[in-house]
Amino acid sequence: MTPGSAPRNPPRPAPAEPFANYGNAPKQIYALLRHRILRGELPGGAKIKIGAVAGELGVSPIPVREAIRMLAADGLIDVQPRHSPVVLGVTLAEIYEIGEIRRWLEPFALSLAVPQLEEATLSACQDLIDRSRDTTDGWDKVQFNRSFHLSLYRPCGRGRLLKIIEDQLDGTIRFSRYLVVADELATQAEEDEHQVILDACRRRDAEEATAALTHHLERALERLTQVWSTIDAG
């Protein structure tokens, strides 16, 4: 089975928490389904049965359809008339595109953020690196990676820039988990590179920090494409 393809007998999703806990229906259904897609619980090729989701959550199909439209706008699912929505798989071209966007935007965000970084943020980022090293859970490692990058960039104060970067980081979640599972040495290298970036930020050396980040993003893209090509070939 290629990455991003649906298994022949996909496991039935675990029952959700009582839907009363989710608040605003369409947005919360969107968040729930998006989480399942990013985690791989709904892999590429999986069909989303609107009636089944509505029944699971105890709601009418109307808010589920609205959530589906939001997921389609994110590029996570394909919607065709008279057919169930289908989760879109990840392609090598998508990996390259996201990698290129990150390589151009994230160093700029970090260069603006370095002078504004507070000790509390630096300490929190160190904690994320340490927790990533300590855990063997692939999903946790992916989440720590995302939090590390966003925590460093937020002080840049550019809301639109941060939104674009956050969207790209969310896009990487779907395939980064393959890297974590397939190559433990690669994840150790990423953690080491994070440490180099953070150390430069502690010294308030924006030039060194952005150079280390650029190197990290380039190496991360190389590692992802190598692992993805190997999985795809298998």
Residues 6+ apart with CB under 8 A from 164: 101, 105
Banded pLDDT at 6 (limits 50, 70, 90): very low
Residue 167 predicted with pLDDT over 80:
yes
pLDDT at 111: 98
User: What digits encode the pLDDT tens for the residues 44-102?
Assistant: 889 999 999 999 999 999 999 999 999 998 888 999 998 999 998 888 888 899 999 99
What local confidence, expressed as pLDDT, does residue 188 receive?
Answer: 86
Distance CA 224, CA 96 (A): 9
Q: Which of 96 and 5 is assigned the larger pLDDT? A: 96
Q: Per mean pLDDT, which range of 153-157, 166-170, 178-182, 213-217 is the poorest?
A: 178-182
The structural domains of the chain, ordered by start, are 19-87 (1.10.10.10), 92-233 (1.20.120.530)
